[in-house]
Every structure is written in C-alpha cells, then in structure tokens.
Structure 1
Amino acid sequence: MAGNGPVCKSHCHGPPRPHIHSSHSVHGDQDLPGPCPTAEDPSTCDIIKATQYGMLERCKELIEAGYDVRQPDKENVTLLHWAAINNRQELVKYYISKGAVVDQLGGELNSTPLHWAIRQGHLPMVMLLLNCGADPSLIDGEGFSSIHLAVLFQHMPIIAYLIAKGQNIDTTDFNGQTPLMLTAQKAIGPEPLRFLLKLNPSLNAVDNVQKNTALHWAIASGNTSAVDLLLEAGASLDIKNVKGETPLDIAYQSQNHFMIYMIQEEERMRNRRNNRLLKIVEKYELFLMLTSSLTFMWAIGYIMDLSSDSWLLKGGLLLSLLFGMALFVRQLVGLKNLSLMGLLYYFYKTWSTDPGYIKTSEEERKENIIALAEAGCLDFRTFCTSCLVRKPLRSVHCLACQTCVARYDQHSLWTGQCVGIGNHYYYLLFLFFLAMTGVWLLYGTLQYWSNHCAASFQQDGVWTYFTQTVSCSPWVSYIFSVACFHTLWASGWLTVQLYQITFLGLTSHERMNLLVQRKSSKHSFSLRRTPYNLGCFQNLADFFQCSCFDIFKPNIVDWTKQYKLFHQAKEKSVHSV
C-alpha cells in the first residue's frame, strides 16, 4: 500500500486511523463529507487530503479544474484507493462516474480499492465496489484474494457477503492456500474457522507448496481451537504432506502433548464408529439409557440394603458399580450423553420434540445475507455467523446443540435438549410430573419408616431417629435422599418458570441477560417493563395458547420467523433482551 507519511500536512490536520501496511485512513467509519479540521481555508487542501477527509465539493472542484481521476500519486495510489479505505461512498460513486478504474492496482501491496476496503472492514464500501464491477478474485501483492483478506482480518460480515455473492469458499491464493487453511494457520480463536466450516469447504484440500491440509497448518501453528474444530468436522488424519508427514507426525514434532492426545483420541473414536455393536447401541440409545439408569438406581439400593454389616464391603461394591457404569457410558454411549445418566424421570416429549430450530435453505441463507448487508444490519444482533441464518427475535445460538433455537429458554441438563418454543410446554409438564413423583416417593418412604422402624422422633431424638431409620433400610434411605433432591430442584425450578412466564413474559435466558444488565447499569429498571409482558392473564393465554372460554384471545406468533415486534409492543425496544 502507500508509504509512510502524515495524512494531512500544513493545512489539513486530523487524527488518522490506525493504518494497515502503511495505508492511511481518516474518519473511516462513516461516509461523512466533513470539512478539513482546521481553522485555515480548506480550499488549500490538495485532492488527496480532500479525498481522505471526504470533502466532496473540494474534490469536484479539483476534478472539474482538470485533475485526472485515474492519476496515481507518488506512492502509486489512486483517488479511488483513498476514498475506499476511508469509506467515502459518495466520492467513490463520483470518481467512478468520472472514469476511475475500479480494479486499479496500487500501493506497496499492489492492491485494488476493494482490497483496501476489506482490510479496514468497511462492508458498505465492499458492497458498493462489487456493485460497480470490482473483481473479488483478483490477487494482491501478498497473494491474497478478497475472501482471503476478509478471513485474515476476521471480518465476518464481509466473509458472509462475499460468499453470498458467489465467491468460491475454496478459492486459492498464490500459494494454493484456501481460506480454511489460512484461518487455521493464522487466526487466533475459533472464528472465523467455525464460520467457514458451516459453508462446507474442502477439509482435505492441500496447498501447492507444502501439500498441507488445513489440519496440518493448524497443528504446525499450535492453533488448538482450530485443531479441535477440524477434527470434529471430520478432517482426514491420513493425508501426508510433501515430506510424508501426517497430522499426528507434525504433532509429535511440535511436542504438543495436548494435540497428540486430541488426535489419538479422535482416531480411537473414529475406529469405534465402525464397530457393528456400537451402531446397534446407538440405534437403541434411548432405551439403553433409560434401562441402565433404572438398573443403576436399583443396584445402588440393593448394595446398601445387603445384610452384611461390613460398610467396607458395601463401599467397595458401590465403587465397582460406579466404575462399571462410567466405563459403560464411555465405551458404548459416548461422553456427549453423560449428563443423561442422572435423569431418573425422563419426559420423552421434551427430549424428542423439536425445540424450535431455525431452519433455512442454502439459497435463503444467501438471500438473507445480501438483504441484511444492503439494509446495513449484517451484525451479530441480527445474523448468526455459526448457522448462517437471520436471527428471529428472542432466538439464541445454543453452543451445546450448535444451532439457533426460537424463543430460547435454556439448554436443559436433565433432558440433554434445548428448551424453546417447540417444547417449552412439555418441559413444564416434565417438571410438574417429576415433582409429583418425588412427593409420592417421599410419602412412601415416610410411610415405610412409620410402619417398619421402631424408632420414634419424639421419644428418641433427632440423631437416634436418623441412625435407626437409616439402619432399618439403607435402600429406602437412599430413595428418600434421591427423591428429596429431585423434588426440591424440580418444584423450585417449576415455580421460577411459571413466575417468568406469568408475571414477566420472559424466558430464562432473557431474564438472566436483563439481570446482568441491570447489575452493571447505572440506572435501575424493572424486569416487568419489556415488550413481551402483556399482563399476567394474557401472558398465560399466549404461552399455553388457551382462550379460557373466549375470555382472552391468545396471540399466535411464529417465533421461528418473527423478526419484528408484534403490534402490542411496537413502541418498545428489545435490543437489550
């Protein structure tokens, strides 16, 4: 790009933005034709400085006076380059109308105006230049095309827009590296790699020089998050580079023990997937989980109720049982479903019903990206870079399910499933029946103790009563403790859920976000003053879709496609939620 030097010298002084490879930009976030920041006459500014500061009238004056719009400066940079890097959209339109070459190469890095705009992250300028005919496939002096630069500088909206406009996700740079290889090698953190993986890139493509895949590059660069994502996506572990090295070989050379473990564990897991027995287990996973959970419960109680007086023996048997169940879960079921082992009362509807996943076709995704970009709102509030979908109101991307869920409430530990618009009603019933079952178990254990244990709470005291009842039947005591735990959390959480639905009209996620914001805000505000709180009875009618004998008219809202507030709440903002 351009060489070093102040943006404005004697007559135009202003704070330049941080430059990239010596290129300068000023006031680049907005397309403001603001005046040259000086007390002196701005008419003395030359056309370069007038372009940098967006002085449209001064630039027109100089062009009309005979300045050639295609003439580069002493650093081989054109006016269009300076307008692009400073996001001066009106000037770009004017210069192109006067004959400026939209794909003119210039500066130290031999870049086009589009390259400069991408490096600075100016999405509006990128859209304008593309609409004016800029070629995103052109390579700059560093060997990068437009999408490579967007990936390198981690400008997610620009990546999305370029892909939506037809840019190939597997475009190669001068060295044959794809964007996936580049981000695996140089980007820190999971983005934009996670975003690129959603676009179905070639996981096993190799570059022209080293013949490395993206996984080779990630391991060589010590990029742990990239290695994890590529392994999860199914990157090959067998491809060898020009030196005959597999990804595991490179991990050994780097002496990164954690990466070595990750790759070896992935190899073991992939070998397991080919096991015929495990495929059968996966097919009947739900039945096995329920059966093993109930068997595990029964076995614990049976061991505790053995006639042997040796607690050492009982403790050893319990430890053996725990070890055996952990081994079963690890070898046959998989670690991802470990949370289900503690679930005693599995409410099938909550687990099996679609919670409200946001589903769109590939064509709809691209159309949404272009529409949002042109509307100036392609950002994380309205667009999910993981799912590549426009986010409806109240939707949240669940990291556990790796998808967006409509009117998201939570990812339930006890069901191993998201709770959203599709299954929230069933989740409340699950909590209700779980609490009722716990109460019934507590009543049964108390009845058993009163009929079979000789101890009396009034006569013997608390400690004697406790020890004698436990000795009377350790199994019943165990059932009592489990029932207490599940009854307390289920009834408590059910109460919280009903309070949020009835009096606040909020989901758990929204309420927690508002609580955090209120804690950090200087101004207090009520959780009841949100666009979604329509009054207790209306909230209940909307949630349960019940008219209550035509007393209330429930609002029918498709939260998987609701992008604007419904009519009762038009005047209120939900951005804070």
Structure 2
Amino acid sequence: MLERCRELVEAGYDVRQPDKENVTLLHWAAINNRQELVKYYISKGAVVDQLGGDLNSTPLHWAVRQGHLPMVMLLLKCGADPSLIDGEGFSGIHLAVLFQHMPIIAYLIAKGQNIDTTDLNGQTPLMLAAQKAMGPEPTRFLLKFNPSLNAVDNVQKNTALHWAIASGNTSAVDLLLEAGASLDIKNVKGETPLDLAYQSLDRFTVYMIKAEERMRSRRSSGLLQVVEKYELFLMLATSLTLMWAIGYVMNLSSDSWLLKGVVLLCLLFVMALFVRHLVGFKNLRYLPTAFLLSSVFWMAMTWFFWFLPDITDRILQLSVMFSTVGFLYYFYKTWKTDPGYIKTSEEERKENIVALAEGGCLDSRTFCTSCLVRKPLRSVHCLACQACVARYDQHSLWIGQCIGVGNHRPYILFLTFLSVTGVWLLYGTLLYWSNHCATSYHQDGAWTYFTQIVYCSPWVAYIFTLTCFHTAWASLSLTVQLYQIVFLGLTSHERMNLLMQRKSSKHPVSLRRTPYNLGCFQNLADFFQCSCFGLFKPNGIDWTKQYNLFHLAKEKNVHAV
C-alpha cells in the first residue's frame, strides 16, 4: 500500500488536496495509524494541522479519538499543535479525556500540555471528566496531576464538582470531595454544590456532601483537631480499656451469663460509636493493630501477675521477657520502616512517561496510572496505602502497613517472636490450671474439665482464647512465609498469582520454576542479605529500580553452573 501511494503522489497527486468531505490523506493515515504513510505525506508537504471533516478536526484530533498513542507521538514530533480546538470546541487532551485514553492523557501532559487548559466553553479536562465520563476514571487519573479543583467554566460558572453532581456522576463527586473541592462556590444561578444535589433528588450525593461538610467543620474545631492528632493513641487506649472491660465482666462472680452477654454487647456498641464518630476513615485500617497490641499487653500482664508466681525457672522467666520485648521491637520496626515505596519527582514521572510511551510500553504492566510511576519488577500498587511497593508481599492486616522489600525481614522476626510469646503463654496457662483448678482432664472428661477451668478463672480462660488465636495465625503465617522464601523465592502476592494462573491455565504452572528461585541456600542468602557462613554471596538487587529480568536470569545461570 505504501508503494502504491508513493506511485500516485510521484505521478502528481497533491497530498494537501482534500476529498469531497474536506478530509486530507493525512487525516485518513492518522485515523488508521499508518505511521509510514504519515511520514511520507509530511515529507511531501502535507499540512500537519490541517482542519477537515464534519468536526473540523486536525489529524491529531482523529488519532486521539481512536486512541492511537504511537500516531499521537509521531504527529507531535512532526510539529502538531495539541492545543488547537476542533469543531466541537475540544483540544487534544479534552478528547483523550472524553474517550478515556489514559496513556494519551499522560503523554500529552508529560510533553507540556497544561492540565487546566480550557475548551471553547472554558471547561478544563477535569470538568469534562466529571460531566461526561461516568465512573471514577479518568477523574481519578487527572487528580494525580494536581489540577485546579475550583476553576469555573465561562458559561455556567460551574466547578468540576457542580458538573459531577449535575450529571449524577457519584464516583467523581466522591473523588472531588476527597481531593478537597470547595463546597461554597456558587455558579451563575447562585447555586452551591449542595443546592444542585437537592435539586437532583439524589439522596446519596446529598449524604456525601453533608458528611463532608461535617468532617470539614470538625477539622476547624480546636478540640476535634487535638482528637484527630492523637487519634491512633486514643484508638489504642480505647481498645486496651475495652479488652480489659470484657475480661472484667467475664470474671464477675455473677452466674448469669445472659446478663454478662448483655453487658458485653453494650460495650461493643459503645466501641462501635467511638469508631464511627472519632476515628477517621484513613485510620480504620489500624483497628486490628490496636486489637493485637491490646491482646499482647493483657497477655503479658496475665503472665506477670497470674503465672509468674508459680514459675521458679529463671531461664523460662527470662525467655518470656525476651520474646515479649523482641515482639514489641520488631513490631515497631516493621510498622515504622519504609516498605519500599516507589518515589519519584514530578520531573522524573514525566520523563518516565515519555520514555515508556516512545518505547511502546506505556501500559499497566510497566506504568502505574495511580502513582504515575514506572513499575519495577515485583512491585504492586497497594490500594490501602495508595502507593506502589517494591517486591510487594502483602498489606498486613495486623501491622496496618504494607510488607515489602524494606520491612519484610523485620516482619518475619515479628511473626517469630509473636509465635514464641504465644507458646510461652499457653504453657503458663496450662501450668496455672494444673496448680489452681481442682479438675483433671483424664478423670472428669473434656466437657467437665472445660467448664471447670472457665469457672475457676474466666479471665485466664479469656486470655487463653486470645493467645490461641494470635499464636495460630502468627505461626501459620510464619510457616508459609518461610516456605515461600526458602523453597520458592517468591512473595505471597506472587505465589497467589501463580496459583490463580495454575487454576485457569491449561498448561502446568510451576511454583518452583521462576526467575526468582535460585535454590534454598541462595534464596536465604538473598532474603536475609547474609553470606551463609561464607558459602553463598547475597545478590544486592535494588528492587525499587529493577525493571527487567536480564541480569536476574544471568545470575541464575551463574549459580546453576
């Protein structure tokens, strides 16, 4: 086809001549992503910004509508102007938003297109996304580039939030409220976003806006600002108090377990009210963490005040103290250590976008549209932390933090010390029952033994239940983690992905045959960064900047030899 077009042009056909629909050859080549033809036509004098067609658009407009990123890049290199307006009043970035072509949006902004550029009616891309793109994208994507939230258009004087409410785009409303869009700006009719919400009769939108108003008024209150500042501490203190109260109620001398159950339900109701009204949404993820720390605190208090008087073995006493201190230290280290967040400057982000686009790999495999960063190998975007984490393992429910390359080793030691502490507590519990409870499992049977030890000391039975729970999940997690690290060389996320592929794939998928598995001893040396008594040299790989498998495969071949 290229050669035939060359023959016709060389024979005298003018490449700038439009057809009966006022469309040039360059338009047709652009909409069909014919890059060699575009280069040839431009070399023969085609006008790169020629307007044509029913919408009076440039070839760049046509390429953007079709989502042809390679063509967009080529036309921009040839001098196309992305700020030109078509017959509908849209520039290139507006069309990319309208058709939800996120790679093109990213590329245009990285090449210098203003995120707040306006169309013929004064609408920014954010306004257009809120008005016409139902769903969270591309509004969420545009918000990553820090657009103006409170700009207004030329006609209605609406902000992006006004447009989202008027269009019933609840996802965009939620995102704009979270980003901090103003609730006080009035449009040309004097309507605030809340006024528009009432007119739309959308109860959910009204609820979201009123809830955001309450939240913002709370932040202006001095007392509530103090509460928000110490929110995590208050959550921990409340959890400690609640867990003590549960044990105290269970330990009451009253034989009415129904009454105790009612009191416990009331306690849980009070806790739920506290969480709803005083704990912010971003800190809700730390509720399991507060439960874990409170459990370990009362487990330790039970050891020192209930079990320790019956134990004379100094080594056992020191072992329990050492394991408890080790648990607290490695919990803190896991929680405070950067798990390996991928950090780049705004300039580096734009450079990466351009490099990936020109390399033909600006897609979800190599580029995170949430963080706007180039994704290294083994990195994953965590929805809870809203960040990409290098060599991502999991988002730990009990730590309230991602586990990645930076804090994976402390996490393993945290699980180890928690498991050991739990085992010592279970031993102390059994020793306490044998010394203080007048019952025997062999003589009385399972049911009688169980009821007698509960009546003997409900508090100890309560702590025993907590200890069993935490010891079970910690030891199980530790076993799985060590298996993955030593025998597979994989993270939890990678192992789960491979297991899902194994279920859906017709061909066998091996967990052992991966580029990251270098053998048990080498896997250990790499993970703990130790030489294993000088037998193995650990590989120093920076997983925050590792983008290809080339030298990993090379390392594997070297070790195999």
Q: Deviations over 1:112-168 (max 9, x none)?
A: 000000011111110010011000000011110000001111111110100000000
5 Å-filtered alignment, 1:35-184, equals 55-184=1-130
Shift in Å, 1:568: 3.9
Q: Deviations over 1:24-56 (max 9, x none)?
A: xxxxxxxxxxxxxxxxxxxxxxxxxxxxxxx11
Equivalent residues of 1:281, 1:333 under 8 A apart: no
Q: Which moved more, 1:321-330 or 1:152-161?
A: 321-330
User: Structure 1: which 4+ aligned runs deviate by more than 4 Å?
Assistant: none
Shift in Å, 1:420: 0.6
Percent of residue pairs bearing the same amino acid type: 84
5 Å-filtered alignment, 1:156-555, equals 156-343=102-289, 344-345=292-293, 347-555=331-539
Equivalent residue, structure 2, for 1:13: none
Shift in Å, 1:565: 2.1
Equivalent residue, structure 2, for 1:563: 547
Q: Deviations over 1:424-468 (max 9, x none)?
A: 111111211221222222222222221221121111111111112
- Aligned residue for 1:378, secondary structure, equals coil
Cα separation, 2, equivalents of 1:186 and 1:565: 41
Distance 1:432-1:285 versus aligned 2 partners, 3 A rule:
farther
Shift in Å, 1:331: 2.8
Equivalent residues of 1:114, 1:136 under 8 A apart: yes
Equivalent residues of 1:293, 1:342 under 8 A apart: no
Cα separation, 2, equivalents of 1:262 and 1:486: 38
Cα separation, 2, equivalents of 1:341 and 1:443: 28
Equivalent residues of 2:288, 2:397 under 8 A apart: no
Equivalent residues of 2:485, 2:527 under 8 A apart: yes
Where does the alignment leave 5 or more consecutive residues of structure 1 unmatched? 1-54, 573-577
Cα separation, 2, equivalents of 1:250 and 1:312: 51
Q: Which letter does structure 1 place at the counterpart of 2:163?
A: W
Shift in Å, 1:252: 1.4
Q: Which letter does structure 1 place at the counterpart of 2:46?
A: A
Tell me how many residue pairs correspond in the alignment: 518
Q: Deviations over 1:242-266 (max 9, x none)?
A: 1221111111111111111111111
What RMSD, in angstroms, separates the aligned Cα atoms of the two structures?
1.5
Q: Deviations over 1:200-248 (max 9, x none)?
A: 0001111111111111111111112111111111111111111221111
Distance 1:170-1:513 versus aligned 2 partners, 3 A rule:
same
Q: Which moved more, 1:336-345 or 1:159-168?
A: 336-345
Cα separation, 2, equivalents of 1:189 and 1:541: 47
TM-score (norm 1): 0.87
Q: Which letter does structure 2 place at the counterpart of 1:106?
A: G
Equivalent residues of 1:103, 1:112 under 8 A apart: yes
Q: Which letter does structure 2 place at the counterpart of 1:254?
A: S
Q: Which letter does structure 2 place at the counterpart of 1:529?
A: R
Cα separation, 2, equivalents of 1:446 and 1:208: 76
Equivalent residues of 1:198, 1:387 under 8 A apart: yes
- Aligned residue for 2:402, secondary structure, equals strand
Cα separation, 1, equivalents of 2:21 and 2:177: 45
Where does the alignment leave 5 or more consecutive residues of structure 2 unmatched? 294-327, 557-561
Shift in Å, 1:377: 0.9
Cα separation, 2, equivalents of 1:568 and 1:178: 45
Which structure has more relative contact order (CA 8 Å, sep 6+)? It is 2
Equivalent residues of 2:498, 2:509 under 8 A apart: no
Q: Deviations over 1:462-505 (max 9, x none)?
A: 11111121112221111111111111111101111111111111
Cα separation, 2, equivalents of 1:322 and 1:97: 76
Equivalent residues of 1:329, 1:335 under 8 A apart: no
Equivalent residues of 1:435, 1:491 under 8 A apart: yes
Equivalent residues of 2:232, 2:283 under 8 A apart: no
Q: Which letter does structure 2 place at the counterpart of 1:213?
A: T
Q: Which moved more, 1:101-110 or 1:214-223?
A: 214-223
Cα separation, 1, equivalents of 2:498 and 2:335: 28
Cα separation, 2, equivalents of 1:281 and 1:543: 41
TM-score (norm 2): 0.90
Q: Deviations over 1:182-206 (max 9, x none)?
A: 1111113221111110100001111
Q: Which letter does structure 2 place at the counterpart of 1:279?
A: Q
Q: Which letter does structure 2 place at the counterpart of 1:231?
A: L
Cα separation, 2, equivalents of 1:99 and 1:478: 85
Equivalent residue, structure 1, for 2:309: none
